[in-house]
Amino acid sequence: MDDLKRLVEGKEGPCVSIFMPAHRTDAEQSRIRFKNLCGKAEKMVAAMETDDLDVDEAMKPARRLLEDQDFWQHQSDGLALFMSDQVFETYRLPITFEEVVVVTGRFHIKPLLPFVSSDTRFYILAASQSRVRLFRGTRQTIREMEPEGMPKNLSEALKYDDPEKQLQFHTGTGGSGGKRSAVFHGHGLGADDAKDRILRYFREIDRSLSPVMRNENSPLVLAGVDYLLPIYQETNSYPHLLEQCISGNPDEMGEKELHDKAWDLIEPLIKKAQTDAAARYHDFVGTGKTSKDLKDIIAAAVGGRVAVLFVAKGVQQWGRFDPERGTVEFHRVPEPGAEDLLNLAAVQTLRKGGEVYVVGQEKVPENAAATALFRY
């Protein structure tokens, strides 16, 4: 989501967005396809006729990528690239994109939304006494995160405790030379003390998560053995911790298994949220709080009035939006400087805190290219 936020923020100068199918086993075919799309992008940048724009300089990062043999040897099913004078980002994702090249004043992010928008994002906390890991996941992806200050395990979390509280000393029976041997017992061997140590460990984990999750509303799935799960729930301060958990020793689960088990819990919630949003839309039809008119939707999105936006996957509506006059014009085909107006609506809705659902057109209320539920 952090990457998406960077992409949707306003940029200066031409923003180049390229989507293409890639080949896991044919690096040269992917490279040639990308080269052809770069040529198309270069012509579109030149056609914008922006003052003081050096087209050759603008395309340099893409040309350097063409020569990166290691990059092309390690592809997934689809490649997305975003390039401006401030940004150069590439994403290799396990889904095939249609070929799309867009050059305008903002990035074309709509094909990425099913992977990174709030309705598909979630977190996994895999915690045991010997290891703790945090993952960020989407429908297709999982990535381990490294929150600052998160302890690696229980021992590390409690390493600064007073040693005298951790060890008790008493003298035993006489040893050689008449000396009495020292006997140390680990503090916390009782059930209450053991739970107290785990509680302190989990509080350290929860504190380390707070900066990461402060502005999040995505669900957090807890993975752990059954007796630890309720102890963590006692310490948790994140309001979107899922009641359902992944039961079992997470140390024995790889990323794929954790992702699959978490998705089994998350997917029903996503479907329900989407269904509930569509039901809310239908409830307000005829009240002035809904629209399927793209001009009205864009004006509302720019003004921060869109609470929920449904956008048809794989559909583009090319045109231009004049922010000063608030006017929209539609084009039948992409022209220099034109953009996908559905992308514009999605970007503006996300920037103003609204929800965006990119779905098949048959799932868009009223079977339109886009529909919106307004806040007021």
**Tens of pLDDT, residues 59-104:** 889 999 999 999 999 998 999 999 988 889 999 988 889 898 988 8
Closest by CA to 308, choosing from 321, 292, 328, is: 292
Task: Based on the fold, state whether residues 243 and 134 are members of the same structural domain.
Answer: yes
Which CATH number characterizes residue 297's domain?
3.30.1330.30
Closest by CA to 343, choosing from 3, 112, 93, is: 112
Task: Based on the fold, state whether residues 266 and 358 are members of the same structural domain.
Answer: no
Give burial (CB, 10 Å; 0-12/13-18/19+) of 350: buried
Per-residue pLDDT, 217: 83
Give burial (CB, 10 Å; 0-12/13-18/19+) of 58: buried
DSSP-derived secondary structure letter, 241: B
- Domain boundary (108, 137, 172) is at 108
Task: Based on the fold, state whether residues 50 and 88 are members of the same structural domain.
Answer: yes
Task: Based on the fold, state whether residues 290 and 231 are members of the same structural domain.
Answer: no
Residue at 166 is within a domain: no
Residue at 237 is within a domain: yes
Task: Based on the fold, state whether residues 14 and 93 are members of the same structural domain.
Answer: yes
- Identify the domain containing residue 16 by its residue range: 1-108
Residue 180 has pLDDT above 90, yes or no: no
Which CATH number characterizes residue 103's domain?
3.30.960.10
What pLDDT, in 10s, does the model give residues 31-52?
999 999 999 999 988 887 666 6
Distances (CA, A) of 281 to 55, 118, 361, 375: 45, 19, 15, 11
Structure tokens belonging to residue 42: 């270069």
Task: Based on the fold, state whether residues 254 and 146 are members of the same structural domain.
Answer: yes
Residue at 4 is within a domain: yes
Structure tokens belonging to residue 237: 């301060």
Residue at 351 is within a domain: yes
Residue at 352 is within a domain: yes
Task: Based on the fold, state whether residues 263 and 292 are members of the same structural domain.
Answer: no
Task: Based on the fold, state whether residues 198 and 327 are members of the same structural domain.
Answer: no
Residue at 178 is within a domain: no
Residue at 180 is within a domain: no
Over the chain, what is the mean pLDDT? 86
Task: Based on the fold, state whether residues 266 and 134 are members of the same structural domain.
Answer: yes
Per-residue pLDDT, 242: 96
Domains in the chain, number? 3
Task: Based on the fold, state whether residues 48 and 154 are members of the same structural domain.
Answer: no
Largest CA distance in the chain: 100
Across 10-14, 160-164, 283-287, which has the greatest mean pLDDT? 283-287
pTM of the predicted model as reported, rounded to 2 decimal places = 0.71
Which CATH number characterizes residue 265's domain?
3.30.420.60
Indicate the pLDDT class of residue 112, thresholds 50, 70 and 90: confident
Residue 167 has pLDDT above 90, yes or no: no
Task: Based on the fold, state whether residues 247 and 301 are members of the same structural domain.
Answer: no
Residue type, 30: S
Task: Based on the fold, state whether residues 336 and 374 are members of the same structural domain.
Answer: yes
What pLDDT, in 10s, does the model give residues 324-345?
888 999 998 877 778 899 999 9
